Structure 1
Amino acid sequence: MRIDMNDLSAFVAVAQAKGFREASRASGMSPSSLSEAVRRLETRLGTRLFHRTTRSVAPTEAGARLLDRLAPALTEVFASLDTVSALGDAPSGTLRLNVPVNVARLILPGIVTPFLALHPRIRLEVTAETDLVDIVAAGCDAGIRYEERLAQDMIAIPIGPRRQRFATAAAPAYLDRMGRPRHPRELLDHACLGSGSANGVAHAWTFEREGELVKIDPSGPLVVRSGAAFDLAVDAAIAGLGVISIFEDWLRPHLDSGALEPILEPWWQEFSGPFLYFSGSRLVPAPLRAFIDFIKGERDIR
């Protein structure tokens, strides 16, 4: 059975956009052209692919099954074409990344600007969120996460600093008033500016020194539920509201200026840096390949 690839692409566009007008805006094809393409495909297959009403468009059971198999296949086809075209031309297209908030704030700024300057035909879309997501289901080309959160079937490449630390600090005025803790457990008597996940689970603070591991559950007047809100906690710490524990790079400007004073530094826990990861079961699109090569080149320079 011969079926036009454009008709298949039109079907996927309508199914993913959940409507002909919405698919038109995303694909650049007119609603009438999309409708005609879907009609041709239904005729060739001998089955209806969409339930259509004046208010909604939804795949039939046959349409849903076709979409499940066809969408990944078309992604592979277009990635293959991108890979071939990139051999003779500068890489172009959209690169979609899903990253933690701290990576978007602390690591990507030093990478994104020179990368896009080197590849002006690439458009970068970055989604920053704390929770781990299925990058394939989310329509992302790659993600950035830390080692303990990487799935086993992903290819991972180091990006950014290879060692990082959590730093603990407070405003000098607060420490003058409340005292300077000499052991992590003394933080239980301090106002701590904590953080937690979106589902309400509080993050414990972990300290380590000479093989001794100490975890405490911080308690205090402020808890932030998203990495994007860490700046609020930092401002509160500078204002003297309490003790904060966060990525050292996030606090470094304030530690250097004296606005915050480091405490318990011998106990600061060190951990490995983040990784760029992507599915090993699909061809690498040209924009992602260019990003990987750029990261590897940056690492070689260091």
Structure 2
Amino acid sequence: MSSIPLADLDAFVAIARVKSFRAAAKLRGVSASTLSEAMRRLEARLDLRLFNRTTRSVTLTDAGERLLERLAPALSEVEAAIDGVNSLRDRPVGRLRLNVPGIVARFVLPPIVTPFLKAYPGITLEVASNDALVDVLAAGFDAGIRYEEALHQDMIAVPIGPRRQRFVVAAAPSYLAEHGVPEHPRDLMQHRCILHRFASGRVLTWLFERGEERVSITPPACLISESNEVEQHAAVAGLGIVCTFEEFLAPGLASGALQVVMPDWIQTFSGPFLYYPSRTLMPVPLRAFVDFVKANPWVE
């Protein structure tokens, strides 16, 4: 049997981990058809079917399970060996894969990414934006960024971005003039509200705190969306009341198109964290990124 390209084996592991050609392609920055062709080559070389494919799912065959069991640790050893050599360079090279929520991709990472990549031009940074909770290692990422309540205890967490953020409740002046201004979270049950739904299907619960009083509600919705842009546009148009990160609403608040309501109930919480597994042989690009974040003022 002729030698099998390492890239095809690496592609197999990527698909097997996320059980999706499309998701693996997005992670690797290639087309799904490119991965399909790589798997056709690999299965032809082995004369074995590795995946069961349907329109709804991708699962491993017994042969695929056995290959993944032996191959994943071997590829990890290859990566560790390359990282070991890489550590001898003055400037590290390689690929750094991060999984981050949308708020981080839009507001936290931009001022960090450019100076980091200028400082380390040999590193290629891949950023996947995903609001769902992800097993970063199983999905093939080096690290993730999430908020405190979503961090796993066995991970190392490093502060990144603003250390305090806020959820604010806001509406267009035209909506408030027609429907009145809520003064207590329970008043929201009588209003039209714009809710956010995560990719998992869970609808965001609105949490409020003032002194010792805590209120958790899911108000009646006139719109439920997975897009913050859709929610902001609807709020500015006077459709209803929205509750989200202050950063998303900042332009509307600054222009007067939106008005904060119940300011004494604003929810404040800790900012995001960069997190990664505790392991001795950290990939060199990840080590460079962690050191860069720690040494610069974005953690303040």
TM range (shorter): 0.7 to 0.9
Asked if the contact 2:132–2:200 (Cα under 8 Å) also holds between the matched residues in 1, the reply is no
SS across alignment from 2:228: helix
Conserved? CA contact 1:166–1:246, under 8 Å: yes
Q: With the length of structure 1 as denominator, give the TM-score of the two structures.
A: 0.80
TM-score normalised according to structure 2 size:
0.80
Give the superposition deviation at 1:158: 1.1
**Structure 1 residue 253: Cα displacement:** 2.2
Provide the rounded CA distance (Å) in 1 between the counterparts of 2:256 and 2:68.
57
- The question of 1:133 aligning with 2:120 is answered no
Structure-2 residue corresponding to 1:186: 187
The aligned residue for residue 275 of structure 2 is: 277
Give the distance between the partners of 2:282 and 2:47, measured in 1 at CA. Answer: 32
**Structure 1 letter corresponding to 2:282:** V
**Percent identity over the alignment?**
50
Residue 215 of structure 1 aligns to a residue whose secondary structure is: strand
In the TM superposition, residue 79 of structure 1 has moved relative to its aligned partner by 2.8
Closer, same or farther in 2 for the Cα pair 1:136/1:62, shift >3 Å? same
Q: Name the CA distance, whole Å, in 2 between partners of 1:59 and 1:267.
A: 50
- Residues of 2 paired with 1:14 and 1:119: CA distance? 26
Task: Please give the alpha-carbon distance, in whole angstroms, between the structure 2 residues aligned to 1:245 and 1:24.
Answer: 42
Secondary structure, counterpart of 2:126 in structure 1: strand
Looking at structure 2, the residues matched to 215 and 14 of structure 1 have their Cα atoms a distance apart, in angstroms, of 44
Instruction: Summarize the alignment of residues 59-208 of structure 1 with structure 2, pairs less than 5 Å apart.
Output: 61=62, 64-208=65-209
Q: 2:289 aligns with which of 284, 291, 298?
A: 291
User: How far apart, in 2, do the equivalents of 1:301 and 1:197 lie?
Assistant: 27
Question: Residue 282 of structure 1: CA displacement?
Answer: 5.9
Work out the CA distance in 2 between the residues paired with 1:63 and 1:256.
55
Secondary structure (helix, strand or coil) at the match of 1:70 reads helix
Q: 1:11 to 1:119 in 2, by over 3 A?
A: closer
Deviation digits for residues 90-131 of structure 1 (CA, Å, limit 9, x no counterpart): 111111111111111121112112211222221111111111
Give unmatched runs, 5+ long, in structure 2. 22-32, 54-58
**Cα separation, partners in 2 of 1:95 and 1:69, compared to 1, 3 Å:** same
Shift of 1:138: 0.9
Distance in 2 (CA, whole Å) between partners of 1:168 and 1:175 is 12
Distance 2:162 2:230 in 1: 25
Change (3 A) 1:150 1:14: closer
> Distance in 1 between the 2:133 and 2:298 partners?
29
1-structure distance, mates of 2:233, 2:79? 46
Q: Report the RMSD for the aligned CA atoms in angstroms.
A: 3.2
- Name which of structure 1's ranges 192-201 and 120-129 shifts more when overlaid on structure 2: 192-201
Deviations 1:184-231 (A, max 9, x none): 11111111111123343322211100111011212131111x2xx111
**Is the Cα contact below 8 Å between 1:79 and 1:286 reproduced in 2?**
no
Which string of whole-angstrom CA distances, capped at 9 and with x for unpartnered residues, describes residues 45-75 of structure 1? xxxx65159x99x987466334324313422
- Structure 1 partner of 2:212: 211
Larger Rg: 1
Change (3 A) 1:76 1:148: farther
Would you say the 8 A contact 1:92–1:121 is kept in 2?
yes
